[in-house]
Amino acid sequence: MDPILSGSKSVSCATCHHPRFNTADGISLGIGDGGVGLGTERVIDAANPPEKRIPRNAPALFNLGAAEFVSCFHDGRLEVDKTRASRIRTPLGGEMENGVATLLSAQTMFPVLSAAEMAGYFSENDVSKAVRQGVLTGPGGAWVILVKRIEKIPEYRARFDPIVGADDPIHFTDTSDAIAACSKRIMISMPQIGPGKATEFERHQGDEGRMRVTGDPADAYAFRTPSLRNVAHITPMVIAVLMER
């Protein structure tokens, strides 16, 4: 992911959710703003240390697009609520930006507001100042500042044109919807175990998964996987990998 969505343009979503580390970071407590390096090698930047450490570990992103996921974050503070017009309960209540397509999209809107994760601290940048002042939506709001950065990049603007209209502004909900769509593709909760399937005339043991059924390259290495709520039959070693310790 592009670090342009962080206040100081130094942290991306992938900083704490990296494919190399099973879409997490491999450390007990993540280091977002104010860190250098990736994964288990990420350490606090002595030249720009964070005011606080992230209080919880970065969870893996596997299967978040599955229908059974009705809440996000470790404490479930973002969750489906069918009694609300938006059908989503968020910590911001009425201050939440309207128009998010899914719960997963709403979730992506919060790390960019966290000082320790992506926004940075008060004196560091325009985004962190807006967050500290409680200005999140509307002119001068943190989400607006970030989306204006996106609009200034011709390649990004061109990719959003067919979605929002060439003459219409991009909203941060459009950006969060796009990130959510990417996250939803991360559905393989464990690597292939065993030699995999191949026809008799094939000499390799690479298992292309769902693509062997559909013939669609987009389905390469996609597998139907168990929900994390139903893993009692999986070995403890595999559970440890899935749950990131």
Place of tokens 């007990």: 28
Q: Is 111 exposed, middle or buried (0-12, 13-18, 19+ CB in 10 A)?
A: buried
Q: Which parts of the chain are beta strand (E)?
A: 35-36, 43-44, 71-72, 78-80, 88-89
C-alpha dist (Å) from residue 209 to 64, 73, 124, 196, 213:
20, 30, 46, 9, 8
Both structure tokens of 97: 């930006």
- The more confidently predicted of residues 4 and 212 is 4
Give me the residue label for tokens 């310790």: 245
Kindly report which listed range (4-8, 38-42, 90-94) carries the lowest average pLDDT score: 90-94
pLDDT at 105: 92
**Residue 157 to residue 169: CA distance in whole angstroms:** 9
Among residues 133, 98, 93, 94, which one has the least CA distance to residue 113? 133
Architecture of the CATH domain 3-184:
Orthogonal Bundle (1.10)
Residue type, 241: V
Looking up tokens 């008799």 gives: 200
Kindly state the tokens that stand for 158.
Answer: 């061109």
Domain boundaries along the sequence of the chain: 3-184
- Cα first-last separation, the chain: 24
**Predicted pLDDT of residue 221:** 74
39 has pLDDT over 60: yes
Residue 36 is predicted with a pLDDT of: 95
In this predicted model, what pLDDT tens digit does every residue of 175-225 receive, in sequence order? 999 999 888 877 574 555 666 676 777 776 677 778 888 888 888 877 765
- Structure tokens, 185: 């593709």
CA distance 103 to 59: 16
CB 238 within 8 A of CB 190: yes
Alpha-carbon distance values, 170 to 45, 90, 146, 180 (Å): 33, 22, 11, 16
Whole-model pTM: value is: 0.76
